[in-house]
Amino acid sequence: MAGGGDGAFRHIFTKENPGRIDDYYKVNRKTMLGEGSYGQVVKGEDKNTGAVRAIKAIDIKKISDPKRFEDEIKIQQALDHPNIVKLFEVFKDAKRIYLVMELCSGGELFDRIVEEAEKHEGRAFSDSTGSLYMQQILGAMQYLHSHNFVHRDIKPENFLMQNRENTAAIKVIDFGLAKSWRAGDPPMTTKAGTPYYVAPQVLLSKGYDNKCDIWSCGVIAYILLCGYPPFYGDRDDDILKSVKLGKFDFPSPDWDDVSAGAKDLITQMLTMNPETRPTAEALLTHEWLANKAGEGGTIDSKLNIGARLRTFRGVAKLKKVALTLIAQQLKDEDIEELSKTFKTLDVNNDGTLTPKEVRDGMTRHSIDIPEDLEAVMKSVDSDGSGVIDYSEFIAATLTSKQYARQEVMWSAFRTFDLDGDGKITKEELAKVLQESPESDQIKKMISEVDEDGNGEIDFDEFCLMMQDKS
């Protein structure tokens, strides 16, 4: 939603840089994180902030469908969820396009499953770990589907672990086959997906909807618990025949110790008829997920969440925009407590908070509730979507210790300073927020921070605003 008189603004800040990537990042081209037909993924360190990112270098010659590739970037830019990998910046030179993304150091979920299956013959993860992972995976699916996107290539290789810990967050990656689709649109017909995980409807000629992702999640849930797929064969053709039949079982002794709840959830996801296959939203209420994964812990009263949310309401508009940008760019470990708090409040695990979830959560954890909570929530909902997105919550609850650091502020400033001349003009700000440079809102945002009255914001003025000294 583009900003207007209501003060709302869009949250897509992914910068498409005119400069060379080496001007901004120390790129380690020797240590590859991954390699594919498109190019390779390497590590890069932001020269200003020291933040380490994953950089996906794509050979332009290997992009067979530029429109499809552009759509992939647009979809990823629009996503704001704790279990979906973030895209920060895009660079382009004569030979390659570089996507600067969140670094996940724990490897693929696929490799984690293989490791666990080797340790326990006939079993991979326990019920409790499997449910914790499925809660995150289905939460990401619910978010995607509610925002009218379908992934279409859900498989363990397309989930990365945030770090090497057993409780690490799972992040969805690779939106190369993703598509915008909403209920009521014509069925999709492109044969997209990977043999073991593809839904039967994708292979048949009648078309399919977003429930294809749910089927793939069912296959992942099955593999998470036993280490092998429900549909298999010696060759791709054999696997696809098995998928089309849709028949599977829970063989003894491998499944003897798995709970009835887990088997029921898998059976529901692997329902042949997509019309009766449950949605991600419905599956997230399943008792196996609720009982095993728990409600995400407690909220530390020392965080003063209520006071932080109230303070955010009175913050200058440009500072709200800058804090939302910073919230998207900070490392997960820098905002660990706030991220845990968000997940604790997010009872239905859809990656957004309703005012009711916030009120109920604060009541449940004996946190003081601001009298004007409804008005506070409206202020925190800075894109006017009607719910509190992940970055909105983080932005509203950050402390100055987390954001008022020179390198963090410079990184944020650089996003608005499109031509790199050390000034933010109304034209640049308008372009980032997709508004008219002559709108009252843009003029007000500049004037609130422009100490010397020259119609521009330099870095010193920007820092004064961020430190509340203007």
Please state the domain count of the chain.
3
For the cut 80, the answer to whether the pLDDT of residue 459 exceeds it is yes
Predicted confidence at residue 164, as pLDDT, reads 87
At residue 102, what is the residue type?
Answer: E
**In the predicted model, is pLDDT for residue 166 greater than 70?**
yes
Sequence letter at residue 182: R
**Residue 60: inside a domain:** yes
Is position 153 annotated as part of the catalytic site?
yes
Length of the chain (residues):
470
Query: Does 197 reside within a domain?
Result: yes
Measured CA to CA, the distance from residue 288 to residue 124 in angstroms comes to 17
pTM of the model: 0.87
Catalytic residue among 80, 153, 213, 450: 153
For 339, residues 6+ apart whose C-beta sits below 8 A from its C-beta are 82, 332, 394
The CATH number that applies at residue 261 is: 1.10.510.10
pLDDT at 33: 83
- The parent domain of residue 245 ranges over 109-293
In degrees, to the nearest 5, what angle opens at C-alpha 329 toward C-alphas 155 and 39? Answer: 45
Torsion sign over Cα 453, 458, 463, 466: positive
Residues 133 and 93 in one domain: no
Residue 7 lies in a domain: no
Write the Ramachandran bin of 295: left for phi over 0, alpha for psi from -120 to 50, otherwise beta.
alpha
Q: Is the model more confident about 212 or about 7?
A: 212
Peptide bond between residue 200 and the one before it cis (omega within 30 degrees of 0): no
Q: What are the DSSP calls for 319-346, one per residue?
A: HHHHHHHHHHHS-GGGGHHHHHHHHHH-
Place 297 in a pLDDT band, splitting at 50, 70 and 90: low
Same domain for 274 and 130, yes or no, is: yes
Does some domain include residue 3?
Answer: no
